[in-house]
């Protein structure tokens, strides 16, 4: 079949329509405290569309078994679906091979896998470069590695607007740098980092780069070959899929040379009391019973997302973010935190004279769900001079009416607290 014929058989993309999208998410039709639910915490965990819910339900009701091990129909059927989910991830991020896709229980485990396996050989003379805006999951594993191996940890500062400049990255990376580990998109501020350029800086110095893609995979189109990243980690539950599933992309040559992260079943080709041989990729890094049904759910989420014109989704999220920031700036005593010009749909703010937790509690009484706290980014909060912020994060299902509900609830909170 020629390329034109193959292309003609691809399903037509759905044009983005937020009303249609909302009908796919059952939870959005419910009320909280007798008010319509306004869910603005997708950066913490996104809601699930019906196709994902149905895929998970179907597996447990009709086709559940363990994978890779059963010589019977149920096991073979679910094994095929599990591996089809791996292929869906491969295509979604444009990896070269299924062997470069490792299923984990979340992005945190994916980063820890790299720290414990790749990190073992960095040595006391090596350096790891991170930034001030990293999530704790991209800080603490490297601190633990520092304690174990003596590797040095260097931190790149952020600007007052919440940006990480390429110049600051270049100043931190040296010939001793072995790994640059940075977020694609800040979970606390929404800042989009210049990942492709950072990868070039790292590789020029002979270093590798790991990208925490938990927010980037949601709001950006990710092509790991174009980015030329060595590792890319993300979670399923932020991508409209289930929790309990994460992905580590790693270049095959690196994964091949790295020792296993955990030992047990599935990750071996042979075992004796004298010697054990590891399995080929990706099984070498998937010890024990894997997150089978969550992986199928992630595959369903990727299929759902991929059914849309993602340009339309991105435009909707960006327009809604701009509208929300304009509305928030117009409220007396509300201050935005993180005002990068290169920003995804994550908005941090504070209300002068009121603690974020108190504000969030009052918003909840109006049915409005926002995050309050340090957002697993305490060093960033300390750097910017805030013990905590409020965070409204936008998903593909949010609307202007919901932003208006947030603004109205904030006005009520100000009357009570300020």
Q: Catalytic amino acids?
A: 376
Structure tokens at 169: 């990255």
User: DSSP E strands: which ranges in 112-184?
Assistant: 127-131, 152-156, 177-183
Structure tokens at 212: 């925490």
User: DSSP E strands: which ranges in 29-176?
Assistant: 31-32, 35-36, 38-39, 101-104, 127-131, 152-156
Please tell me the distance from the alpha carbon of residue 406 to that of residue 412, in angstroms, as a whole number. 10
Task: Write the DSSP assignment of 10-52 as a string of letters.
Answer: SPPPBPP-HHHHHHT-GGGG-EETTEE-EE-BTTT-----HHH
Look at residues 352, 348, 406 and name the one whose alpha carbon lies nearest to residue 377.
348
Contact 122, 258 (CB under 8 A): no
Point out which residues pair with 102 in neighbouring strands.
Answer: 248
HSE of 224, CA atoms in CB hemisphere, 13 A:
29
Please tell me the distance from the alpha carbon of residue 24 to that of residue 4, in angstroms, as a whole number. 32
Q: Which residue has the tokens 């597996």?
A: 59
Look at residues 295, 299, 302 and name the one whose alpha carbon lies nearest to residue 68.
295
Please tell me the distance from the alpha carbon of residue 63 to that of residue 346, in angstroms, as a whole number. 38
For the chain, helix, strand, coil in percent to 5 are: 45, 20, 35
Contact 376, 139 (CB under 8 A): no
Distance between first and last Cα of the chain: 68
Structure tokens at 27: 């939870």
């Amino acid at each position: 079949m020629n390329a034109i014929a193959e292309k003609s058989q691809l399903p037509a993309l759905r044009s983005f329509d937020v009303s249609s999208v909302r009908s796919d998410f059952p939870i959005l039709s419910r009320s909280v405290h007798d008010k319509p639910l306004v869910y603005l915490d997708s950066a913490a965990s996104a809601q699930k569309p019906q196709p994902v819910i149905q895929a998970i339900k179907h597996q447990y009701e009709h086709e559940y078994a363990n994978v890779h091990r059963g010589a019977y129909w149920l096991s073979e059927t679910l094994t095929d679906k599990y591996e089809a989910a791996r292929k869906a991830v491969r295509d979604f991020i444009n990896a070269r091979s299924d062997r470069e896709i490792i299923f984990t229980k979340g992005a945190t485990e994916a980063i820890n896998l790299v720290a414990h396996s790749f990190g073992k050989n960095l040595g006391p003379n090596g350096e790891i470069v991170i930034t001030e805006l990293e999530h704790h999951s991209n800080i603490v594993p490297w601190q633990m590695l520092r304690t174990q191996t003596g590797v040095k940890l260097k931190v790149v500062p952020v600007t007052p607007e919440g940006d990480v400049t390429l110049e600051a990255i270049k100043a931190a990376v040296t010939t001793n740098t072995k790994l640059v580990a940075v977020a694609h998109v800040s979970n606390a501020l929404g800042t989009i980092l210049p990942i492709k350029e950072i990868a070039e800086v790292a590789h020029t110095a002979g270093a590798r780069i790991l990208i925490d893609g938990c927010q980037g995979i949601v709001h950006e189109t990710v092509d790991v070959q174009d980015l030329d990243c060595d590792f890319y980690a993300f979670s399923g539950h932020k991508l409209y899929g289930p929790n309990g599933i994460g992905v580590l992309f790693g270049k095959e040559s690196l994964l091949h040379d790295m020792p296993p992260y955990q030992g047990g079943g599935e990750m071996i080709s042979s075992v004796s009391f004298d010697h054990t041989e590891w399995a080929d990729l990706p099984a070498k890094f998937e010890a024990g019973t894997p997150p089978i049904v969550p992986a199928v759910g992630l595959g369903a989420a990727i299929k759902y997302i991929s059914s849309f014109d993602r340009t339309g989704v991105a435009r909707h999220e960006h327009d809604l973010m701009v509208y929300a920031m304009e509305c928030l700036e117009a409220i007396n005593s509300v201050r935005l935190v993180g005002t990068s010009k290169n920003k995804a749909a994550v908005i941090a703010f504070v209300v002068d004279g009121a603690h974020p937790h108190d504000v969030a509690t009052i918003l909840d009484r109006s049915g409005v769900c926002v995050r309050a706290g340090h957002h697993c980014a305490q060093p960033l909060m300390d750097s910017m001079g805030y013990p905590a912020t409020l965070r409204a994060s936008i998903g593909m299902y949010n609307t202007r009416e919901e932003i208006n509900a947030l603004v109205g609830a904030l006005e009520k909170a100000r009357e009570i607290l300020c």
